[in-house]
Amino acid sequence: MRRIGINQAKPGIKLARSVINATGNVLVRQGVTLTSRYIERLREKGISQLYIEDDISEGIETEDLISDETRYYTQSVVKEVMNDILWQNRLNRVPEITKVVNNIVDELLSNDNILVNMKDIRMIDDYTFGHCTNVCILSVITGIELGYNELRLRDLGVGALLHDIGKMRIPKHILQKPGRLTSEEYEQVKQHTIYGFEILKDCDDIRAPAANAALGHHERFNGTGYPRGLTGEDTHEYAKVIAIADVYDAMTSDRVYRMGMEPYEAGSYLTSMGDILFDSELVNTFIKNIALYPVGSSVILSTGEKGLVSKNHGHHPNRPTIRIIYDPYGEKYDTYREINLAEWPEITITQICEDLN
């Protein structure tokens, strides 16, 4: 299995992972041989990358952290909850919210190797629902690394899943504006943290820590955030965790107006902002569970050779195992070899590319 850009997709290649929308409907199923029509349909849906299978990627596999069933059920619940706020101005479906967060916590706790090892591929139109789900998953993973007990993980998960619920009270034309917001529009958007807090605190079945997490996820370590301009020591830890997960997923996701960053780029940004915008200890904890070069990525090495990331290692997130396919002159090796970069400190990854060809 390997990841390629949609512009590199050619008729005749076989899909290694199904392309599914936010509610779990399959657009193109795993194992299908792509035609020009399929490729164009995916491009129209805003899909920028695909996982495919071929001879050079044979045997390279990875699994998502949670089951597809849990992921897409979570996204469908988020969509329904957001619609309830939009049309009824009230939070319904708390039992469903509790259920999906419990499912995520249970699946992650039962996973012996928690490592975010794939770049999430989703339709641009599904950004909100996929984003909330990803922020929940990333936050709970970080909470597990921090040693949170199950109750704290569930509170953190609810706050993360619903962190942007207040945006349903912001005018749609502002939220979906592709260009730069005016100062007045930005002030309106900033109110979503307060709206989210009000929605959650008024619900008897949502605990206070989750509401406070939604309120504070745009606070920043140096006090430059909103809504209250709190510094790191005064901001609830759940909010600080969600802030990191929120920014990471936003940076790595494709949007209408830009392509998403690679995980290593987003990780580098978060690290550089440690104890400026984000709590550096929490950033370091977060990064431990992110594969900065996801399995299936095409890379160029400092030797000039090209290959595929075939495996990641939890203690060395930036030193994966590489299956080397091409020599420095672009000729394909007769026999592929794999090297663990953790054992070859003199060799580095210089670039991720959309394809090896």
Q: Are residues 265 and 310 in the same domain?
A: no
- Residue 44 in this model has a pLDDT that exceeds 90: no
Q: What are phi and psi of 195, to 5 degrees?
A: -60, -45
For residue 60, being part of any structural domain is answered with no
pTM: 0.93
- Residue 357 in this model has a pLDDT that exceeds 90: no
For residue 62, being part of any structural domain is answered with no
Cα–Cα distance, 308 to 301 (Å, whole number): 10
pLDDT recorded at residue 82: 92
Q: Are residues 125 and 178 in the same domain?
A: yes
Residues in the chain: 357
Q: Which of 54-68, 144-158, 289-303 has the lowest mean pLDDT?
A: 54-68
Q: Are residues 183 and 321 in the same domain?
A: no
Where does the pLDDT of residue 313 fall: very low under 50, low under 70, confident under 90, or very high at 90 and above? confident
Cα–Cα distance, 119 to 135 (Å, whole number): 14
Beta strands in the chain (DSSP E): 2-5, 14-15, 19-20, 26-28, 49-53, 298-301, 306-313, 316-326, 332-340, 349-353
In this predicted model, which residue has the larger pLDDT, 55 or 121?
Answer: 55
Q: Are residues 266 and 331 in the same domain?
A: no
For residue 183, being part of any structural domain is answered with yes
pLDDT in tens, 3-16: 998 888 999 999 99
- Residue 126 in this model has a pLDDT that exceeds 70: no
Using a 10 angstrom Cβ sphere, with 0-12 exposed, 13-18 middle and 19 or more buried, the burial of residue 142 is buried
Q: Are residues 123 and 207 in the same domain?
A: yes
- Count of domains for the chain: 3
- What is the average pLDDT value for the chain, to the nearest integer? 91
For residue 324, being part of any structural domain is answered with yes
Where does the pLDDT of residue 175 fall: very low under 50, low under 70, confident under 90, or very high at 90 and above? confident
Q: Are residues 18 and 75 in the same domain?
A: no
Q: What is the number of other CB atoms lying within 10 angstroms of the CB of residue 255?
A: 12
pLDDT in tens, 93-125: 999 999 999 999 999 999 877 888 877 666 555
pLDDT recorded at residue 143: 97
What CATH code is carried by the domain that includes residue 31? 3.90.105.10
CB contact at 8 A, 217 and 163: yes
Q: For residues 218, 75, 63 and 111, what is the CA-based torsion angle, rounded to 10 degrees?
A: 70
What CATH code is carried by the domain that includes residue 136? 1.10.3210.10
pLDDT in tens, 57-82: 999 988 788 888 898 899 999 999 99
Where does the pLDDT of residue 318 fall: very low under 50, low under 70, confident under 90, or very high at 90 and above? confident
Structure-token pair, residue 63:
């699994």
Q: Are residues 44 and 72 in the same domain?
A: no
In this predicted model, which residue has the larger pLDDT, 237 or 178?
Answer: 237
Where does the pLDDT of residue 311 fall: very low under 50, low under 70, confident under 90, or very high at 90 and above? very high
Q: Are residues 108 and 172 in the same domain?
A: yes
**Domain limits at 336?**
298-353
Which of 264, 353, 247, 311 lies closest to 63, judged by CA? 311
pLDDT recorded at residue 65: 86
For residue 75, being part of any structural domain is answered with yes
Q: Which of 16-25, 45-54, 79-88, 290-299 has the lowest mean pLDDT?
A: 16-25
Which span out of 50-59, 83-92, 271-280 was modeled with the highest average pLDDT? 271-280
pLDDT recorded at residue 151: 95
**Helix spans in 17-126 (H):** 36-44, 68-88, 94-109
pLDDT in tens, 230-286: 999 999 999 999 999 999 999 998 776 677 899 999 999 999 999 999 999 999 999
CB contact at 8 A, 157 and 139: yes
Q: Are residues 27 and 147 in the same domain?
A: no
pLDDT recorded at residue 121: 65
Structure-token pair, residue 8:
């590199």
243: CB partners within 8 A, 6+ apart: 216, 217, 218, 219, 220, 225, 278
Q: Are residues 114 and 212 in the same domain?
A: yes
Q: Are residues 210 and 309 in the same domain?
A: no
Cα–Cα distance, 270 to 288 (Å, whole number): 13
**133, 136, 284 from 145: Cα distances, Å:** 19, 14, 11
User: Is 264 in a helix, a strand, or coil?
Assistant: helix
Q: Are residues 103 and 239 in the same domain?
A: yes
pLDDT recorded at residue 124: 54
